[in-house]
Amino acid sequence: PLHPSNALKYSLTWSTDGLINEYGNPCQGIEQGQLTELQPLEGLETIELDGLLYEAFNTSGGLGTLAETYQGQVRSMNYKTMRYPGHCEKIRLLMQDLRLNEDRETLKKVLERAIPKTKQDVVLIYASVTGERNSEFYEQNYVKKVYPQWIAGQLWSAIQVTTASGICSVVDLTLKNPNQFRGFIGQEAYDLADILNNPFGACYADDPENPIEKISNSLENLDW
């Protein structure tokens, strides 16, 4: 949430079942070049963006097939969820100490009764890659904040905008390139530049020029 108002510093902005699954299910990752299973809510670290501190910890599902594709090619890879500091500790209390990960229906009822919903959210995206380039140790980051936006005359939350943008840009690219994309397609098959240049992926671009206008125009001129 943009304005956290509870001890979890969290508001419900999407599926509660999905939230519980990503907090409670095992996570895939790569360690020492090998595919491995990581525990959710572990690997806690602090990340600073624009002078604000956040925490990040293992959650399931986000890597898709990336870990399987890149095992043996990279030394380490993981996917983490970012929250305001203190969130992970309190979720551990609920899911591990109180063992509500074993009673997810009760956990769902507790969260939906106590945690408010909101459309005043923000999506933080932070991808960091380190390695060697031209025999030098090199780092490159992608950082993006997405806020609620008006599209086609309706207010959409940040999580709605980013979810729809990701899906629609991939569908658009797939349908426009039927000879390139066939059968099972992993997310790594799509080039980031193509996503950022796609009108539906405009919200992910760095300082995009009128991203909402691009999305609205695309909705009005569908040629699928």
The whole-number pLDDT of residue 216 equals 46
Neighbours of 21 (CB within 10 A): 15
Specify whether 179 is located in the same domain as 111.
no
Does the pLDDT at position 4 exceed 70? yes
- Check which CATH number belongs to the domain holding 56 and give it: 3.30.360.10
Q: Is residue 135 part of a domain?
A: no
Same domain, 20 and 114: yes
The sign of the torsion formed by the CA atoms of 111, 114, 118, 121 equals negative
Structure confidence by residue, pLDDT tens digits, 95-145: 999 999 999 999 999 999 999 999 999 999 999 999 998 999 999 999 999
Q: Domain span at residue 158?
A: 144-220
Answer whether 54's CB lies under 8 Å from 47's CB.
yes
DSSP strand pairing (123-133 vs 34-38):
unpaired
43/95 same-domain check: yes
Q: Is residue 39 assigned to a domain?
A: yes
Residue 111: name the closest of 5, 4, 1, 10 by CA: 10
Domain count of the fold of the chain: 2
DSSP, collapsed to helix, strand or coil, labels residue 182 as coil
